[in-house]
Amino acid sequence: MASDKTHEEHAHDEAHFREQHLMLDPKPRGEMNAMVMEAMHTTSWKFWAVAALLAVVVAIGLFYSWGHMIAEGLGTAGINRPSYWGIFIVNTVFWIGISHAGTFISAILRVFKAEFRRPFTRAAELMTTFGLVQAGFSIFMHLGRVWLAYWLMPYPNQRMIWPNLHSPLTWDLLAITTYLLASTMYLFLPLIPDLAMARDRTEGGWRKTFYRVLALGFRGTEGEWKHLRHAMNIFAFAIIPVMFSVHTIVSWDFAVATRPGWNSTIFGPYFVVGALHSGMGAVVMVLALVRGTMKNMKYFIRPEHFEAIGKLMLIISMTWAYFFFNDFIVQWYGGDKWIQTLLHYHEAGPLGWMWFLMLFVNVVIPWATLWNKKWRSTPWVVFVVGLLINVGMWIERYIIVPISLTVNRSPFTWKLYQPGIEIPLGIGTLAFFILLYMLASRLIPLIPAWEVQEGQMAHSLTKYGRETVVTVSELE
């Protein structure tokens, strides 16, 4: 009787663990691969209706508006003295921040062997690539005469002019280009085995050709796996300093200036943490949408993953609050009258409500919700928190750029920034990001099936006395 009861308790514990943890709920390799392919190929009329709507928004809000601005000039935008940097720069910083989450989740968590990362690393890595595309668009919009963008490239030319390395524009070009190339290669490497799987499970047509070309002839031999793992480890360690350096360089666009509110020595880590703050919020939003709209995703993306990301979001929110108030208190206590005037303008000016809203959604809401395990394990709750965090982080960049430029050392130039064509262009970049993600979700496997299968092979349940514990084997 006692042994039967113990066996039943053990079976109950195993069932509970399998329900809660993906790594302890394995499925046959063929079945899992079929689930990933089915999720990729299953679409409804609602999907195409949303895609068509987004395509219209992109065509009008992005390309038509951009063409209109090119034809009529930057006068259609609100950029003018004293705010020569506006929403275009705000969006550039914002999208680079969104892109940081992919590298953080994939590279850093891979280095530290955080097992919960396995089912959603690719979803985060896609955000990195598509976010950097929107950042590039935004900086090109800021150029105005975008057809002369090639002047930024250091190449021999008849003009005998070399790019000005003192210009933040050159820094951003180098940073975004380096990060885009590195992150795209880092996205592609772990995608190769899944592209090979899709190639072998596709009957014919253009998809078969697409997968065959991109899979590079991968057959899953021992030598191929060995080389792939070595390459992924090299990129994981190499791309982490690239990630930190990119947003640090973006922060130097502001910190090296002598303008009130910008000349701060902690802008580097402050911007990096802010990028992670908005990026993690975007990742959790994407995961909630993917889980709710794509077939079979509830098996791969579970409450345990939202709970783990929720912890990271809470820690990052606390870190962001530390850097924000550190920067604020030092400038407030410093006594410079122009800085104190600017800080007062932030809080009590015509857009002071933005300053308080930023603190409320970036600090108060995450701290009030994410401490609770039940709340941070609920997809719709963390989705709302992530959405509010991204609203708050966009507002933070808006405060740093055009609002801070309003107050300078020449009061006769003070004028409130009034955006014009930047608004539809910003909406267009957001729609383009979502559209690219939707199309990618039907073209490549969003779930890295081989990584999930590898993790399930390494995890097992072991009985020690009356306790059932999870054990993880070292596969590499």
The count of other CB atoms within 10 Å of the CB of residue 111 is 12
279 close to 104: Cβ distance less than 8 angstroms: yes
Cα gap 372→16, rounded to integer Å: 21
Residue 472's H or E segment, with its range, is: strand 467-472
Q: Which of 151, 103, 112 is nearest to 131 (CA)?
A: 103
One digit per residue, pLDDT tens: the chain, 476 residues? 555 555 565 565 677 677 788 888 888 899 999 999 999 988 889 999 999 999 999 999 999 999 999 999 888 998 888 888 999 999 999 999 898 877 778 888 888 888 888 899 999 989 989 999 999 999 999 988 888 888 887 777 776 777 777 888 888 888 888 888 888 898 999 999 999 999 999 888 899 999 999 999 999 899 999 999 999 989 888 888 888 888 898 899 898 888 888 888 899 999 999 999 999 999 999 999 999 999 999 999 999 999 999 999 999 999 999 999 999 998 888 768 888 999 999 999 899 999 999 999 999 999 999 999 999 999 999 999 999 999 999 999 999 999 999 988 888 888 889 998 999 999 999 999 999 999 999 999 999 999 999 888 887 777 776 677 777 777 66
The predicted pLDDT at position 9 comes to 57
For the chain, what's the residue count? 476
Residue 470's H or E segment, with its range, is: strand 467-472
pTM of the model: 0.92
Torsion on CA atoms 204, 206, 208, 209, rounded to nearest 10:
130
Cα gap 375→369, rounded to integer Å: 6
Partners of 80 in the β-ladder: 83
Residues 6+ positions from 314 with CB-CB distance below 8 Å: 366, 367, 370, 371, 376
**What six digits make up the tokens of 364?**
């108060």
DSSP 83: B
Residues 6+ positions from 362 with CB-CB distance below 8 Å: 277, 317, 320, 321, 389, 392, 393, 396
The predicted pLDDT at position 471 comes to 76
Break the chain down into helix, strand, coil percent, rounded to 5: 75, 5, 20
115 close to 472: Cβ distance less than 8 angstroms: yes
Partners of 460 in the β-ladder: 471
Residues 6+ positions from 472 with CB-CB distance below 8 Å: 115, 458, 459
The predicted pLDDT at position 465 comes to 67
Q: What backbone torsions phi and psi does residue 412 show, to the nearest 5 degrees?
A: -70, -15
3-state secondary structure of 386: helix
183 close to 437: Cβ distance less than 8 angstroms: no
* Domains detected in the chain: 10-43+78-419+442-472 (1.20.1630.10)
**What six digits make up the tokens of 311?**
């912890």
84 close to 253: Cβ distance less than 8 angstroms: no
The count of other CB atoms within 10 Å of the CB of residue 456 is 19
Q: What backbone torsions phi and psi does residue 83 show, to the nearest 5 degrees?
A: -95, 80
The predicted pLDDT at position 1 comes to 52
